[in-house]
Amino acid sequence: MMSDDKIVSYLEGQVPAYLQLLQKFVELESPSFEHKEASDKCSRFLEETFGGLGFRMQRLPQESCGDHVYGELGEGPKGILFVGHYDTVYPVGTLKTMPFKVEDGKAFGPGVLDMKGGIIMAYFAIKALQELNLMPGKTIGVFFNGDEETGSFHSSDLIVEKARQYEAVFVMEPGVNDLGALKTSRSGRGTYTLIAHGKAAHSGSNPHLAISPLMEVARQLLFLEQWDKELEDVTLAPTAIRGGEPETCMIPETAQLTMDVRYKTRETSQQVHQQIMALKALGPGIRLEVQGKIDKPVMVADPKLFQKAVELGKSCGLEVKGVPIGGGSDGNFTSDAGVPTLDGLGTSGEFLHNPNEYIHIDHIARRTALVAKLLQSL
């Protein structure tokens, strides 16, 4: 049954076209830091697709990842900047075992949820407003990067630079699970490496002469385990240990521990960052070196934008909810820069970064209508 809301009704009729365009997009494989040539085919697809709506597109060449793409549509003051990434966690060749398919009301494929489906939603939200003569009298921007899955190290500064020119940012990352909830906050992330410097020795003939950095790493692990239990709004997760070679019969001179740290508030991120950087060796004769930084600041959704989404969602037949999550996005950067940000406006589904990744087809029209109405209202 078609909706009597003209935006929703128009987009319900566009679902087959949406799936057709999404399939083309998904079948352009685009891993973050492999096969730049393949990723650049994906960025060219976006350049051409959004250019077809009238966007003045600009390619931002990159050496080690797919080129970023920026575009502007319309005249007047700059209103909304859509932010999304086209890179995925899947290597080239994944389509052979994980092809795009539509089955049981769901669309499957590599990156369909995270986040190629959301980018195509942005396209159809803008197309709907154009076709229905409802475009806002402001410039709309799009920024699509090719390195988000590996930290946005080559794009975060560019995203912030562009975002500061706009009134607000819409991040087309997927909603949370089947609910499709918006993200009211995202944890910040820091990556740290503890390097223990000791004294090497032969493990058979003179182990007593060694000052083992591996033992220091073990001590630090036990300390971090206890500290993690005591901290609020922070998680400390060791992710890698390196040191020595099993074939050499040598106690190594150095060993290192890498950890992923997640912060729920800006205040705790700065406090715990300083404490980590000030960590000291726990064993005698060891020099401890600490390297690391906050890679992604904490994101907090703009409360006025979120409330507007709740209100407009009702006219689309949606009950918009919000939840805090631990993972980060490029919205962390724009929110930290002081630009009102709303994240999680993309598709709903489950199993991102998983062979079973899918989106709900029957949610597409109404979620896209919400994006269109938000765009129209600001």
What is the average per-residue pLDDT within 268-286?
A: 97
Tell me the β-bridge partners of 236.
261
Domains held by the chain: number: 2
| Banded model confidence at residue 172, pLDDT cuts 50, 70, 90 | very high
What is the longest distance spanned by two Cα atoms in the chain?
84
Per-residue confidence (pLDDT) for residue 270, from 0 to 100: 93
37 lies in the same domain as 89: yes
User: Looking at the structure, do residues 292 and 335 belong to the same domain, yes or no?
Assistant: no
Residues 227 and 360 in one domain: no
Tokens of 81: 């900047």
Give the CA-trace dihedral at 163, 167, 173, 177, to 10 degrees.
150
Q: How many helices and strands, by DSSP H and E, does the chain display? A: 10, 19
3-state secondary structure 235-276: EEEEEEEECCCCCCCEECCEEEEEEEEEECCHHHHHHHHHHH
Q: Which domain holds residue 251?
A: 188-296
Same domain, 197 and 292: yes
Strand partners, 328: none
Q: Does residue 290 fall inside a structural domain?
A: yes
Given a cut of 90, whether residue 179 has pLDDT beyond it is no
Domain presence at residue 311: yes
Distance CA 195, CA 289 (A): 5
49 and 180 share a domain? Answer: yes
Which of 245, 279, 296 terminates a domain? The answer is 296
CATH number for position 178: 3.40.630.10
Lowest mean pLDDT among 105-109, 265-269, 332-336: 265-269
pLDDT value at residue 4: 61
Mean of the per-residue pLDDT values for the chain? 96
DSSP element (H, E) containing 205:
none
173 plus 61 within the same structural domain: yes
Do 180 and 44 sit in the same domain of this protein?
yes
Of the CA atoms within 13 Å of residue 296, those in its CB half-sphere come to 31
Segment 335-350 shows an average pLDDT of: 97
User: For residue 115, is the peptide bond before it cis, meaning its omega torsion is within 30 degrees of 0?
Assistant: yes
Q: Are residues 172 and 259 part of one domain? A: no
Predicted local distance difference test score (pLDDT) of residue 247: 85
Residue 243 CB partners (closer than 8 Å, separation 6+): 196, 213, 214, 217, 252, 254, 255, 256
d(CA 84, CA 162): 13
**Which residue, 266, 296, 326, sits at the end of a domain?**
296
31 phi, psi to nearest 5 deg: -65, 155
The 10 Å Cβ neighbour count of residue 266 is: 16
| CA gap 27, 159 in Å, rounded | 26
Q: Same domain, yes or no, for 50 and 159?
A: yes
Say which CATH number the domain at 224 has.
3.30.70.360
Q: Would you say residue 286 lies in a domain?
A: yes
Whether 96 maps to a domain, the answer reads yes
Structure confidence by residue, pLDDT tens digits, 60-82:
999 999 999 999 999 999 999 99
Residues 175 and 320 in one domain: yes
The answer as to whether 24 is a domain residue is yes
On whether residue 212 sits in a domain, the answer given is: yes
pLDDT at 1 over 50: no
Same domain, 308 and 249: no
Task: Write down which residue in 244, 266, 296 finishes a domain.
Answer: 296
> Which residue bears the tokens 């991040």?
171
What are the tens digits of pLDDT across the range 213-225? 999 999 999 999 9
Percent of the chain with pLDDT over 70: 99
Instruction: Give a yes or no: residue 1 inside a domain.
Output: no
| pLDDT value of position 3 | 59
The answer on 313 and 258 residing in a single domain is: no
